[in-house]
Each structure stands twice: as C-alpha cells, then as structure tokens.
Structure 1
C-alpha cells in the first residue's frame, strides 16, 4: 500500500494548522529569537513589530484552515501558502540570510506543498 495514500486532506490540514498556529505564537511571544533562528538576524524594534504582525496572520490562517469541516478553500489556501513560503524562504536563504531553522522550514513547506498537490 502506498503510504502517501494514507495521508488524508484532513490530516494535512491538521498538521498545517497546528504548525502555523505554533509558528504564529512563537512570532508573537519571541519575535527576536524566532528571527535569529529562522533568518540568522538580530531582532530589532522594527523587525519585532513586523514579526508580531506576521504572527497574528499565521494564527488567523491556522484558525481559518482548521479542518472541521474540511473545505476545498482551506486546502487551496494551505497549498498556496506552503508553496509560496517554500519559494520565498529558499530565495531568502540563497540571496539574503539564513538561520538554523531556515532550510528545514523550506523542506517542510515544500513537502507539504507536494502532499497537498496530491490531494
């Protein structure tokens, strides 16, 4: 049996929602640490301000895509988000800066994109 077939849209939405909710909370509570780990940059007042805005947006995305009830709109939103973030983070890693968690984040979002495309 193909293990990818066992991964349902519901499971993908759950994983995506939980990861984005956790990331959003991390950005709200520890924006400087998150900036350092993901991008390898020191947090400033300005970067922390924008990180917290992004944290709020990720929490909203996680809540909106929580898989009860499962919807095609939530699947499309997470597919687009994961794909766009994978490409953008890879760009940042190649041309701007890279922290300890950047490339694992790129891989995670790329894998999630591929899995959503298979649904």
Structure 2
C-alpha cells in the first residue's frame, strides 16, 4: 500500500482530537442548537448547563489525546470513548430521541472505534 494512504494512529488521533475539540466548542457556544441537531430535543436551562459541562470535558479529552508519537494511552482513551459514545448514542436514537446529526455521529464514532481497535 502507498505510504500516504496508510491510516496511522497519529492520523486517527488527530482526527479524533480535532472533532472532539470542535464539538466541545459547539456545546459551549451553542448548546440549544446542538441539543436540537444531535438529540432532537428542545434545550432547557438544565440541559444547557450539562451540555456546556460536556463541552468542557470534550475539549479536555481532545487536548489530552492530541497526537504524540507512540502514545498508546491516547489511543486507548479515544478507542474507549468512541466505542462507548457510539453505543450510547445508538441507544438514545432507538429508545429516546433522535436529531438530524445523531445517526451520522453514531457512524462516525463506530468507524473511529473500529479503526483505532485495528491499531
């Protein structure tokens, strides 16, 4: 395989970190919009508080997993996070509620978990 086409853990962590930092910023800045797009719910003051808290956590996860050479802890952390979030969001989509971005988010996290597991 051509070296430029190889998906390395470094590339996977870069994608994961950038996506989680961007999502965290979106939760901090626009919790009502993200609640609607992701979960199909109308945000409340309480959901906004939790959404912003989650946004801070996602930014921290993205920073903590920012790729460094041979960082197995970051790979394991992102593998667990992506796998757990894919399962939980799928559960939410089937049994609770679903927004426009929910199923694309499930697919993204499941794919990232599968790719990270292969590394």
Shorter-chain TM-score category? over 0.9
CA deviation after TM superposition for structure 1 residue 69, in Å: 4.2
Counterpart in the other structure of 2:55: 55
CA distance in 1, matches of 2:6, 2:42: 41
Map 1:101-112 to 2 at 5 A.
101-112=101-112
Query: Is 1:37–2:25 an aligned residue pair?
Result: no
CA distance in 1, matches of 2:100, 2:43: 15
Q: Deviations over 1:32-56 (max 9, x none)?
A: 0000000000010000000000000
TM-score normalised by length of structure 1 = 0.95
CA distance in 1, matches of 2:67, 2:47: 31
CA distance in 2, matches of 1:82, 1:116: 9
Counterpart in the other structure of 1:73: 73
Contiguous gaps of at least 5 residues in structure 1: none
Counterpart in the other structure of 1:13: 13
With 10-19 and 60-69 compared, the bigger mean Cα shift is at 60-69
Counterpart in the other structure of 2:84: 84
TM-score normalised by length of structure 2 = 0.95
Q: Deviations over 1:55-93 (max 9, x none)?
A: 000000000000034410000000000000000000000
CA distance in 2, matches of 1:25, 1:66: 16
Q: Structure 1 runs of 4+ off > 4 angstroms? A: none
RMSD over equivalenced CA pairs, Å = 1.4
